[in-house]
Amino acid sequence: MVFSSIPFLYYFLPCVLTVYFAAPRKLKNTVLLITSLIFYAWGEPKFVPVMLFTILQGYLFGILIEKSKGHWARVYLAISVVISLCLLGYCKYADFFIENINMVTGLSVPLLKVTLPIGISFYTFQILSYIADVYRGSVPAQRNFINLAAYIAMFPQLIAGPIVRYTDISAQLNNREHSFAKCALGIRRFVLGLGKKVLIADALGELCSIFKASDDKSVMFFWLYALACALQIYFDFSGYSDMAIGLGKVFGFDFPENFNYPYISKSITEFWRRWHMSLGSWFRDYVYIPLGGNRVKKPRWLCNLILVWFLTGFWHGAAWNFIAWGLFFGILLILEKLAFRKALEKTRFLRHIYVVSVLLFSFVLFDAANLSEAWFYIKAMFGAGGLPVISTEGLYYLKSFCVILAMAVIGATPLVSMGIKRLRNREAFAKVLNIMEPIVLLLLIFVITGYIVDGSFQPFLYFRF
Sequence-ordered list of residues with C-beta below 8 angstroms from that of 245, at least 6 positions apart, any chain: 162, 186, 189, 193, 255, 257, 258
Environment class of 236 (CB within 10 Å of its CB; exposed 0-12, middle 13-18, buried 19+):
buried
Q: Are 93 and 118 in contact (CB under 8 A)?
A: no
The C-alpha angle 147, 122, 171, rounded to 5 degrees, equals 30
Q: Which of 71, 276, 316, 352 is catalytic?
A: 316
The candidate with the shortest Cα–Cα distance to 374, out of 360, 388, 356, is 360
The number of beta carbons lying within 10 Å of the beta carbon of residue 394 is: 23
Query: Hey, what amino acid is at 10?
Result: Y
Report the C-alpha dihedral over residues 124, 128, 131, 136, rounded to 10 degrees. -160
Count of beta carbons in the 10 Å neighbourhood of residue 148: 24
Alpha carbon distance 19, 22 (integer Å): 5
Which residues does 357 contact at the CB level (< 8 Å), separation at least 6?
A: none
Amino acid at 245: I
Ramachandran angles phi, psi of 178, nearest 5°: -115, 120
Is the sign of the CA dihedral 77, 79, 84, 85 positive or negative? positive
178 in active site? no
d(CA 451, CA 203) in angstroms, rounded, equals 10
CA-based nearest residue to 127, from 152, 94, 162, 90: 152
Of residues 173, 93, 87, the one with CA closest to residue 123:
87
Q: Catalytic residue numbers?
A: 316
